[in-house]
Amino acid sequence: MVRSLLLLLLGIIACSTAAVMIKASTTHPAVLAAVRLILAAGLLTPLLLRELRIHSDRLPAAWLRRTTLPSLALAAHFITWAYGARMTLTAQASLIVNLAPIAIPFFLHWLMRERITTREVVGTLLALAGVFVLSARDALAGGGDWAGNAMCFGSMLLFAWYLALGRKNRDVPSLWIYVVPIYWQSAVFCGVAALALDADFVVTSPREWGLLIGLAFVPTIIGHSLLNRSMRALRGQLVSVANLGQFIFAGLMAWMLFGEFPSPVFYAAASLVIAGVALVVLAPRPKGNATAP
C-alpha cells in the first residue's frame, strides 16, 4: 500500500511538470504536441508490439478504427492545453485542466447512459463556481488570464471526453494496444493542425529539444503510466482526488522558475474546486448503472 501511494505521488509530480515545460517552451503549440506524441509513441511502440503478440487472438472487432475518435480528442486537448498553459498562471492552468473528474460522469451518461447522481451535479456546480470566481477576478482586473482559463477549461472537457471514450473501449485487452495507436494518430492530427496554422516545424535549439523530450518522457510516459498503474492498484476516487495535487506542485515550480505568485482569490477558488471534485469522485455510484447497448 505504501509503495503504491509513493508511486502515485511520483506520478502526480511527473504530470505536474507538463505545465511548467510547456510555458518554458517557445515551440508552436501544435508542433509541440505533435513532437511530444511522436517521441512518446516511438518509445512505447516496443510494448505495443509485445502486447499484440500476446493478445492477437483477443482483439475486439475494429479495435484500431475505434481509436480514431479518442485520438482526435487527445490531439485537440494537447494543443489547447499548450495554448492555455501559456495564457494564465501555471497553478491556475493546472488546477482547471485537472477538473476532468467533474465532467466525466456527464460524458459517460452521454456515451454509455450511466446515471448521474445528485451529489455529482452539486459537486460539479461547486467546482464550476470556483472556476467562475477565478475567471471573474481575471476579467475584472483587466488582464488576459480569463481567456487562458477558458482555454484550459475547454481543454479539460476534451480530456474528459478522451477518458470517457477509454472507458467505453475498455474491452481492448491491453493498455498499450489502446494508447500507443492513439498517440501515433494524435501526432498526425497535431501535424495537420500545425500545417493549417502555418506553424514553424523547425526546432533547432538544444534547449527546445530538451523540453520536448522532457514532455514526452516525464509527464507523458512516466506520469500517465504511473497514474494508470495507480488506477489498477488503488481506489479510483483516491487517485482522482490526489491528482488535483498537480496544481500545488506546478505552482511551486512556477514560483521557483518564473516568480509567479497566485493572488489570495486563487486559494479561495481552489478550495471550491477541490471540494466540488471531492464531492463528485466520492459520490456513491448508483446501483444498476446501465450501459447503453
Sequence spans of domains, the chain: 2-281
Classify residue 259 as left (phi > 0), alpha (psi -120 to 50) or beta: left
Alpha-carbon distances, residue 261 vs 54, 166, 245, 276 (angstroms): 50, 36, 17, 24
291 band by pLDDT with thresholds 50, 70 and 90? very low
Tell me the percentage of the chain whose pLDDT exceeds 70: 92
Q: What is the rounded CA–CA span in Å between residue 70 and residue 86?
A: 24
Q: What is the rounded CA–CA span in Å between residue 18 and residue 139?
A: 26
Other Cβ atoms closer than 10 A to 235: 12
Q: Cβ contacts of residue 10 below 8 Å, gap of 6+?
A: 222, 226
Q: What is the rounded CA–CA span in Å between residue 85 and residue 23?
A: 6
pTM: 0.83
Q: Are 270 and 95 in contact (CB under 8 A)?
A: yes
Q: What is the rounded CA–CA span in Å between residue 291 and residue 131?
A: 31
**pLDDT per position as a tens digit, 90-147:** 888 888 888 887 888 888 888 877 787 888 788 888 888 888 887 776 655 655 578 8
290 band by pLDDT with thresholds 50, 70 and 90? very low
What integer is the mean pLDDT of 59-75? Answer: 91
The type of residue at 30 is: A
What integer is the mean pLDDT of 201-220? Answer: 91
What's the pLDDT score for residue 102?
81
Q: What is the rounded CA–CA span in Å between residue 273 and residue 222?
A: 26
